């Protein structure tokens, strides 16, 4: 009888652990200006920077795969760094590096607040807070390598690339479509 009871408790804990440990993924929908992480969907601003648009450059987060880093606080603003997958398919660019396949632009992020080109800026701070809870509650932190472009000029790394010595941590993946 006690063994049966303990078995039921073990199964219940195992089921709850599976639900707790499941990873969520995020998708940024460029056409509808929305981001969805798990069950949370938020509206995003359309980045404005007419100079880039006149040159034929897209001001939205570029298509592709990203890693969402751990939550940062800068200037009283919560922010997730986005690490873009390299075009070669091996590795990710560091948040601070200028990315050659993106016209030497970098520093992509996910936040609520000032509308910045190349970032996913949420319209509603409360929705961003729900997104934070969803990402941090439903994901596990992992470490990964990032690369740096030493000198990005004319869409190429003139002084080569280097693997940065310190790992970065990420919580989940984001796909920009």
Q: Which two tokens stand for residue 37?
A: 């992480």
Q: How many domains does the chain have?
A: 1
Supply the CATH number for residue 147's domain.
Answer: 2.40.440
Q: What is the pLDDT of residue 58?
A: 67
Residue 15 located in a structural domain: no
Residue 7 located in a structural domain: no
User: Which residues of the chain fall below pLDDT 70?
Assistant: 1-22, 49-58
DSSP 101: G
Q: What is the tens place of the pLDDT at every residue in 137-154?
A: 887 788 888 999 888 888
| Residue 103: strand, helix, or coil | coil
- Exposed (0-12), middle (13-18) or buried (19+): which is 119, by Cβ within 10 Å? buried
- In the chain, what's the furthest Cα-to-Cα distance? 75
Q: Which two tokens stand for residue 43?
A: 């509206």
Residue 1 located in a structural domain: no
Mean pLDDT, the chain, integer: 82
Measured CA to CA in angstroms, residue 117 lies from 51, 55, 101, 132, 140 at distances of 11, 14, 16, 21, 29
Full domain range(s) for residue 66 = 24-176
Residue 104 located in a structural domain: yes
Residue 102 located in a structural domain: yes
């Amino acid at each position: 009888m006690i063994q049966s009871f303990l078995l039921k408790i073990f199964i219940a804990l195992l089921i709850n652990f599976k639900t707790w440990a499941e990873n969520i993924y995020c998708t940024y929908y460029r056409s509808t200006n929305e981001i969805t992480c798990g069950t949370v969907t938020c509206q995003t601003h359309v980045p404005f920077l007419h100079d880039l648009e006149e040159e034929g450059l897209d001001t939205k987060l570029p298509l592709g795969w990203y890693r969402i880093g751990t939550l940062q606080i800068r200037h009283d603003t919560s922010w997730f760094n986005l690490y873009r997958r390299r075009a070669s398919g091996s590795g990710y660019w560091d948040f601070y590096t200028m990315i050659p396949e993106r016209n030497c632009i970098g520093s992509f992020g996910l936040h609520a607040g000032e509308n910045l080109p190349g970032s996913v800026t949420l319209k509603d701070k409360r929705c961003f807070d729900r997104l934070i809870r969803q990402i941090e509650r439903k994901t596990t932190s992992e470490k990964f390598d990032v690369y740096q472009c030493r000198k990005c000029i004319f869409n190429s790394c003139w002084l080569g690339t280097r693997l940065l010595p310190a790992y970065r941590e990420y919580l989940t993946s984001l796909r920009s479509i």
